[in-house]
Chain A
Amino acid sequence: MEREEVMEKVTEIARDIFDDDELELDDETIAADVDGWDSLTHLSLMNEIENEFEIKFEMKEVQGLNNVGELVDVIMERLS
């Protein structure tokens, strides 16, 4: 899967979870940029990503993320 495609899917999931059809994510997006992205919805987002891509994150992967770009990197790594 191409990186762009992964970003698109993540955006799609985020739009659903944060209830915002126009939400745009890029590599630099952080939680504070997105309305409703708190510690609880974050878990929900990670859960949906795991389900969607059929992967399981490791603890250090979920803890060390700084922005959406890094999240997409982890997904890419897992998929490869």
Chain B
Amino acid sequence: MYRFRELTKAAKKETDGKEFRLAVLGNCATQFFSQCIAGYAHLEGMNLKVHDADYDQIEAQLLDPSSETYGYDPDYILIYLATDRLYEDFMSLAVKEREGFADSVLARLSSFWGMIGEKCRAKIIQMGFSEIDDRAFGNFGNRVPVSFVYQIRRLNWLLEEAAATRAGIYPVDILSVQTALGNERFYDPVLYYNAKVNIALDSWGYVAKQVYDVINALQGHTKKCVILDLDNTLWGGVIGDDGLSGIEIGELGRGHVFTDLQLYLKQLKDRGILLAVCSKNNEDTAREPFLSHEEMVLRLSDFAIFVANWEDKASNIRYIRDTLNIGMDSLVFIDDNPFERNLVRSMIPEICVPELPEDPARYLSYLQSLNLFETASYSSEDADRTGMYQAEAKRRESEASFASIDDYLISLDMEGTASPFDELHYPRIAQLTQRSNQFNLRTVRYTEEDIERIASDERYVTLYYTLRDRFGDHGLVSVVIMEKRSAEEFFVDTWLMSCRVLKRGMEEFIINRMVEEASRRGALRIKAEYIPTPKNKMVEHIYDEMGFDCTGEGLYSLEIGSFNKMKTYIREN
């Protein structure tokens, strides 16, 4: 972790890139917290500006529409109620009133959220609660509603419950930092009584990291795939030397370590992170444990792609990236061998390569402490992502057997749908706007709340598209939002598409329906825009290809009257 002084110094430095603004509001002095968040973000390369509101001004700032906080036009508002202040509030209540403490704090938070929602577009970063256990009732305290430990634990629970039912609230689990550091490191009583700084200076960096991780995920930067070495990473020993009965997994030797690591990876796979193998081995040897070792947790079907050969790992990782078609910076590479790690790091600087500890017993706790898999959303479609990529591999095999691309596309027997946004799909639609980087024309990020608002706003025409073929269902693959700028003119605010379905006629299918919908509503023309980002070069010319006229840099226009329906092999369902 960065030292406190590194963070406060970095807070003053400028960073390049798109600017984001965060306003910090607390019931206590938050300068150090704000500086550490800004410093951490700058050191990680995010251009985050942080505005620190005056001490204990939350209500005043949020009630007044012309307050500094709203005037700052923040992308995010962070609300931090420090537990030591809550403890003071709690102690000032008569004993019989203490029972309702957690509920009253939550009601206060709810009112903050309501005020923010009415007055600005900011997403809410809501700090959870660290714990003070005063042991006033000893271990018995957890069942006594008038004890503070009962109320603060209940409050953390109520917060997560409330955030789950309300869009646009993103809790930060500060308690996880306290637990990881332990009270001895997390708190500093001398600092507290001397300067009223409620947690130790060296703890702020850890808390700031959690805030940064949440904001970073909200900006669509998430890890999507873990690439794994095999020997001494997924099991102890070397399969080529030790053989099936000699590798450590399950009961043998240090096997438990590797079993737990595999269980963890399996859990990641089940929540939608892809797993890939990249191993220096003969392919048959490498596959053998997954096929024949009874104690292996992971099986071949858990991997989106399996690469075992004697090529260098950087080349293999590039191959994996190309096959899965995801960003290099969404990959994590796990390998016990420092040589391989350094090679990959130096050849592919964007990839995340955790510096595994030497002792495998420490692999798992180290990996978990990095919090690599932060996410801003979860939908049931995530769970089957591996299956989708495996179906894609089958499609590729089949593609090779056709003489022409048209024959191949016809053979896929594709069926598409287009529907206006509906409640069931809000989470997935919001998630796609947050995660899609490559096929995304304007890269506008929306929360579930935004999507709901747009869906019910007459000024917008919304469409989500699905695609299936004989190998399987791709699910929801594309999102279009058109804004009616006037009776005659519609503007494509958002067009994004999953890269899995590139170049099989989906682009044409989408445009056909887009034009049809606009035309049906009386539009004469569709305007569109391409906003370049470091990642969306692949769609630089898509509007040219779709028959739009270029009217300026990145600006396009399509006259509906002269539009000819584009050819596609996707049937409409």
The chain A residues found within 8 Å of chain B, CB to CB, are: 16-17, 19, 39-40, 43-44, 47-48, 51, 56-59, 62-63
Contact = CB atoms under 8 A, between A and B. Distances in A.
B190 A44 contact: no
Given A47-B5, A59-B194, 12 more contacts: A17-B5, A19-B9, A39-B195, A43-B191, A44-B4, A47-B191, A48-B4, A48-B5, A56-B190, A59-B190, A62-B194, A63-B194
What 4 pairs across the A-B complex have the smallest Cβ distances? A47-B201, A59-B190, A44-B5, A62-B194
12 contacts: A39-B195, A44-B4, A44-B8, A44-B201, A47-B201, A47-B202, A48-B5, A51-B3, A59-B190, A59-B194, A62-B190, A62-B194
B199 to A, nearest CB: 12
B239 interface: no
A50 to B, nearest CB: 9
B24 interface: no
Nearest to B192: A59
Contacts of B149: none
A48 B200 CA distance: 12
Contacts of A40: 31-32
B369 to A, nearest CB: 20
B32 to A, nearest CB: 7
A43 B193 CA distance: 12
Interface in B25-52: 31-32
A66 B93 CA distance: 40
A40 B11 CA distance: 14
A58 to B, nearest CB: 7
B197 interface: yes
A69 to B, nearest CB: 20
B201 A16 contact: no
Nearest to A45: B5
A59 B193 contact: yes
Contacts of A62: 190, 194
A43 B197 contact: yes
Nearest to A57: B190
A56 to B, nearest CB: 7
Contacts of A58: 190
A69 B4 CA distance: 25
B4 to A, nearest CB: 6
A47 B9 contact: no
Nearest to B193: A59
Contacts of B197: 43
Contacts of A44: 4-5, 8, 201
Given A40-B31, A44-B4, A51 B194 contact: no
A51 B202 CA distance: 10
A64 B193 CA distance: 14
A8 B489 CA distance: 71
Interface string B179-207: 00000000000110111010001100000
B195 A43 contact: yes
Interface in B7-30: 8-9
A16 B10 CA distance: 12
Contacts of B193: 59
Contact of A16 (B5, B32, B195): B5
B206 to A, nearest CB: 14
Contacts of A56: 190
A65 to B, nearest CB: 11
A78 to B, nearest CB: 13
A62 B3 CA distance: 21
Which of B3, B5, B202 has the largest number of chain A CB atoms within 10 A? Answer: B5
